[in-house]
Amino acid sequence: MNQIEAPRPRFAQIADILRDRIRRGVHAPGSPLPSEPELSREFDVSRVTINRAVGVLRSEGLVQVRRGRGAFVRSVPVITRVATRRHGARDAGRGAYDVELRRLGLDPSWTASVERVPASEQTAELLNVEVGCELVVRRRRYFANELPVQIADTYLSSELAEKAGVTEENTGPGGTYSRLADVGRGPVHFTEDVTCRGATSGEARFLEIEPNQPVFEILFVASDKENRPVAVTRHVMPGHQWRLRYDWTDEPEGQTE
Amino acid sequence: MNQIEAPRPRFAQIADILRDRIRRGVHAPGSPLPSEPELSREFDVSRVTINRAVGVLRSEGLVQVRRGRGAFVRSVPVITRVATRRHGARDAGRGAYDVELRRLGLDPSWTASVERVPASEQTAELLNVEVGCELVVRRRRYFANELPVQIADTYLSSELAEKAGVTEENTGPGGTYSRLADVGRGPVHFTEDVTCRGATSGEARFLEIEPNQPVFEILFVASDKENRPVAVTRHVMPGHQWRLRYDWTDEPEGQTE
DNA sequence: TCTTATTTGTTCGTATGTATT
DNA sequence: GAATACATACGAACAAATAAG
C-alpha cells in the first residue's frame, strides 16, 4: 500500500485553483468567472474539462451558472437556525429568522399563502388522518436579500384549521400555534427529523440551486398534550447555507421524570 | 417564458431508469450493475454518457463503484440518531446506537483509540484554550455490519483529561461524562451545530463514499454548570444514511424562566 | 511473476443544441 | 440575425485497478 497521493485529475485540480481564487477574493461575489474558452486557454485543457471543473463548484454551491451568460460567484452567508429547547418551539420560527438575518446584515423577507390539498401518504401518516383527506397547507417562502433560502409548508387537517380559524393568510398574534392553543389543541410535544438529500428539480428551481445539490429537509411534527399530532411542517433549505443549532440544559438528576 | 419542460439530458434519463431498477430490486443490494459497455449498447449511447449517469447514482450513495470491478448496489439502511432532550445528552451516544442498529437488524460495532494532538484553531476556540496547546482526543469509529457509518472525535484539554482520568481507552462505567462529573466538571449545557458539506478525501476514504458526497457534520459542545466548555465532539456521517431526530416537550408557560 | 482481458476513470477534438445579449 | 456562453453527446484514446490464467 502506497501513501503517495495519486495524481489528481485535471478537472479536480482546476476546481481547487478556482475555489481558492474565489476564497481569496480574486473573483468577488456576484462577479463572473472567466468564460470557459478563456479558462480553457489559460489551463491549456479542453473546454469539456473546464465545464467539469466548474460543475464541481456548482455542486458545492460556490457559483451559479446561467447559460448564455456565465458562471457567477455566489455570496453564501451561512444562516444559523437556532432551536433552543428551553424557550419553546417558536424560537426556530419567523421572529428568530428576522433577528438572525439582520445580525448578518441581510434583509429578511417572506411570502405566505394558504391552499387546500389532499393528504399525501407521508403527511397522512404523520397527522394520523386518511390518505387523500383534505388538508389546509400554509406555504411560506423565505428570502435573504431577495435570494430564496427556505421553503416551509405547514399542513393541518381542514377540520382543525377551521376550528382554530387559521384558514386565512393572517393568523393573528402568536401565529398558528396560538390559535391552536385557543381551542385547547396547543402543541406541547415536538419532533424534528433532519435529513440531507439532493434537491428535486422543483426545489432547485425555486431555491436557485442545482438539482441534486444537497438540501436539508426538516420534518417538524407538533402534537398536543394528549399526544395527537396537530400540525406538520416540512422545511427545505440549501444545505450549504444553513447551520442548524440545537442547545439545551440537562435537568438535575432528581427531576428527570 | 415557456412552461414546457425542456427534454431531459440522456445521462439524467438513464440515471432515472437505473435508479428505478435498483428501487424495484432488478439489481439487488450487493450485486453489480451491468458493465458500462453493456449499458452503452443497451441504451445506444456512448460509454461516457453511461459513466456520467452512474456518476449521478454514486453521488446519491446508491451505488459504490470500484475501478476494475464494477458498480455495486449499496444497501443503505437509514439510521436514526435520536437526541431526546428530556433524557439527557447520552441518549445520542453509544448505547442508543446499539439499540437503533439492532432494531434495523444490523450488527453494531466500533473502535476507539486515544491520542494527543495540538489544538486546531476551531477546537481551541470552542474549548476556550490556546491554539496549539495539547489536547487529548478520543477517536471512535462506528460500523454497521462491518460498513463504516460514522466518525466521532472527542477533544478535551490534556489537563482536564488527566484530572478526570480519561486518558486511556477504557473510561469506565458511564463514560467520559461520568468521569468529568466525578471531578465536579460534569457537563450540563449542550450545544449541537449541524451542517451539511462535501466529504473531504480522507473522510470519503474511511466512510467508503465519494469525495464531495454530502455528509452531516455535527459539532457537539458540552459545558459544565459554570458554562465552561469541557469537551467538544465532532461527528461526521454520510448524509444519505442518517436521520437526525430531535424531540422535546415544552414546559408549561409559568415555569419558563 | 508476468501477461492478458475486463472494467472503470479521464481527457481530447469535434459537433450540435439552447439561452442570452 | 449574429455573436457569445454554457450543456450535452459522440468516438477515440490512454491510464489505472482488478481478476484470471
**Beta carbons of B192 and A257 less than 8 Å apart:** no
The reported pLDDT for the residue numbered B193 is 96
Residue with the bigger pLDDT between B176 and A105: it is A105
The reported pLDDT for the residue numbered B183 is 84
Residues of B in contact with A194 (CB under 8 A): 194, 243-246
pLDDT at B254 over 50: no
> Which tens digits make up the pLDDT trace of A222-237?
999 899 999 999 999 9
Residue with the bigger pLDDT between A2 and B145: it is B145
Residue with the bigger pLDDT between B55 and B251: it is B55
pLDDT band at A99 (very low <50, low <70, confident <90, very high): confident
The reported pLDDT for the residue numbered B4 is 47
The reported pLDDT for the residue numbered B86 is 56
Q: Which nucleotides of C are covered by protein (CB under 7 A)?
A: 6-15, 17-21
Residues of B in contact with A88 (CB under 8 A): 250-251, 256
pLDDT band at A219 (very low <50, low <70, confident <90, very high): very high
pLDDT at B49 over 90: yes
Are the C-beta atoms of residues B151 and B220 closer than 8 Å to each other? Answer: no
Residue of A nearest to B212 (CA): A60
**Beta carbons of A239 and B88 less than 8 Å apart:** no
Residue with the bigger pLDDT between A169 and A79: it is A79
Provide the CA B118 distance to its chain's centre, in angstroms.
Answer: 24
pLDDT band at B113 (very low <50, low <70, confident <90, very high): very high
- What's the mean pLDDT when you consider all of chain A? 87
pLDDT band at A6 (very low <50, low <70, confident <90, very high): low
pLDDT band at B136 (very low <50, low <70, confident <90, very high): very high
Least confident segment among A27-31, A177-181, A200-204? A177-181
pLDDT band at B255 (very low <50, low <70, confident <90, very high): very low
The span from the CA of A104 to the CA of A97, in Å, is 11
pLDDT at B252 over 60: no
> Which tens digits make up the pLDDT trace of B18-31?
999 999 999 999 99
- CATH among 3.40.1740.10, 2.60.120.10, 1.10.10.10, 3.30.300.30 for B10-73: 1.10.10.10
Identify the CA nearest to B153 among candidates B189, B123, B109: B123
Least confident segment among A80-84, A93-97, B149-153? A93-97
Q: Give the count of Cβ contacts less than 8 A between chain A and B.
A: 115
Q: Pairing mode, if any, of strands A214-223 and A242-249?
A: unpaired
The reported pLDDT for the residue numbered B1 is 37
Least confident segment among A175-189, A233-247, B17-31, B222-236? A175-189
Test the A interface: residue of B194, B210, B251 with most A CBs within 10 Å: B194
A87 touches strand C (CB under 7 A): no
- What's the mean pLDDT when you consider all of chain B? 88
Are the C-beta atoms of residues A14 and A8 closer than 8 Å to each other? Answer: no
Q: Where are the alpha helices (DSSP H) in chain B?
A: 10-24, 36-43, 47-59, 94-103, 121-127, 158-164, 175-182, 201-207
Distance from CA of B240 to the nearest CA of A (A): 6
Q: Which nucleotides of D are covered by protein (CB under 7 A)?
A: 3-13, 16-19
pLDDT at A165 over 90: no
Identify the CA nearest to A157 among candidates A134, A184, A187: A134
Q: Where are the alpha helices (DSSP H) in chain A?
A: 10-24, 36-43, 47-59, 94-103, 121-127, 158-164, 175-182, 201-207
pLDDT at A254 over 80: no
Residue ranges per domain, chain B?
10-73, 79-245
The reported pLDDT for the residue numbered B26 is 96
3-state secondary structure of A243: strand
3-state SS, one letter per residue, for A104-139 = CCCCEEEEEEEEEEECCHHHHHHHCCCCCCEEEEEE
> Which tens digits make up the pLDDT trace of B55-110?
999 999 999 999 999 999 998 889 999 887 654 545 556 778 888 899 999 999 99
Top CATH class, A79-245: alpha beta
The reported pLDDT for the residue numbered A4 is 43
The reported pLDDT for the residue numbered B242 is 96
Q: Which of residues 58-97 of B touch strand C (CB under 7 A)?
A: 65-71
The reported pLDDT for the residue numbered A3 is 36
